[in-house]
Structure 1
Amino acid sequence: MNPTKQAFAERLIAAMQAMGLEPKPAVLEREFNQRYWGKAMTLHGVRRWLRGETLPSHEKLLVLAEWLRLQPQELRDGPEVEARIRKAKARWDEGVGYTEREVFEAFLKLPPDKRKVVREVILAFAKAQNPDA
């Protein structure tokens, strides 16, 4: 079984239980179809979500997330993905000072062919500094 789909099913079940609902296909089908304006989901279709056999489309994921009061990415990917992204963004924000931002702004104003040259120079310096990377 696909671990991504299985983890989604576990989060879906936990979210339904947190709302005080039984994680049963009939309950999910009824609640989902009351909120979704597209073609109704079948009992078999929602059962496959709960069993970790399939993932909902993005449109359906948005409906589920709103109903379950979760961020769509948290429901689909779990909170750890968002935490890793936040950590990487914080590292970038903390590590870049005024002078670096000034250089980045100047870089972004260059035409594409000049950016390519600057990029190659920077990567060459980085490789010379850390040849094992």
Structure 2
Amino acid sequence: MQSILEREAFSLRLRECLARMGAGSGTGPSWLAREFNRRYPGAPVSLHAARKWLLGEAIPAQDKLRVLSDWLGVTAEWLRYGAGSAYVLREPSPGAGLDYPLMREIAALSDLHREAVRELVSALRRAEEVEKTRCGGKNEVSE
């Protein structure tokens, strides 16, 4: 069982990493849950779970801890226990930049609509390549 001190220390390290990211005052539970769920391939975490992480009432399971540490650029060991080196120079985990909620939405579509999404994405990628070529190698597609 996790002690109160362990949970509070984890919470402090988590909040420190979020502040270092420049997230500032926007790092409330809803923001944390939303940003975490964008990176986590499993079932989304609730606002309540994210709140418990921030307040030191709970420590996430190991799979969630790995996603947090990859996102925050620290080792899972340091984030969980405060031991070892905090920062690690490594390539992001495969899938670290994927938008899992979007992928779940696309997967829920019919075959016909998924094919339409594929065609749309392909057309957008071609348009970006044309724009990149026209701009001398810089990708300056306006949003």
| Short-chain TM bin | 0.5 to 0.7
Match of 1:66? 70
Find the aligned partners of 2:58 and 2:16 in 1 and give their Cα distance: 17
Deviation per CA, 1:1-58: give whole Å up to 9, x if none: 7000000000000100101113310110111000001000010010000000011000
Which runs of 5 or more residues in structure 1 are unaligned? Answer: 84-133
Percentage of matched positions with identical amino acids: 40
Rounded to whole Å, the distance in 2 between the matches of 1:16 and 1:30 is 14
State the match for 1:102 in structure 2. Answer: none
Taking the aligned partners of 1:32 and 1:38, their CA distance within structure 2 comes to 11
Deviation at 1:82, TM superposition (A): 1.9
Q: Deviations over 1:74-100 (max 9, x none)?
A: 11111xx327xxxxxxxxxxxxxxxxx
**Which of 13, 16, 21 does residue 14 from structure 1 map onto?**
16
Query: Given the alignment of the two structures, is residue 27 of structure 1 paired with residue 27 of structure 2, yes or no?
Result: no
Find the counterpart in structure 2 of residue 45 from structure 1: 49
Q: Distance in 2 between matches of 1:66 and 1:11?
A: 14
TM-score, structure 1 length as denominator? Answer: 0.58
SS at match of 2:27: coil
Which has more radius of gyration? 1
Q: Distance in 2 between matches of 1:73 and 1:31?
A: 21
Which of structure 1's runs of 4+ aligned residues deviate more than 6 A? none
The one-letter amino acid of 1:18's match is R
Task: Give the distance between the partners of 2:11 and 2:27, measured in 1 at CA.
Answer: 10
| Equivalent residue runs for 1:84-103 within 5 Å | none
Distance 1:82 1:44 in 2: 29
**Residue type of the alignment partner of 1:35:** R
Which of 80, 83, 102 aligns to 1:76? It is 80
Q: How many pairs align? A: 81
Higher helix share: 1
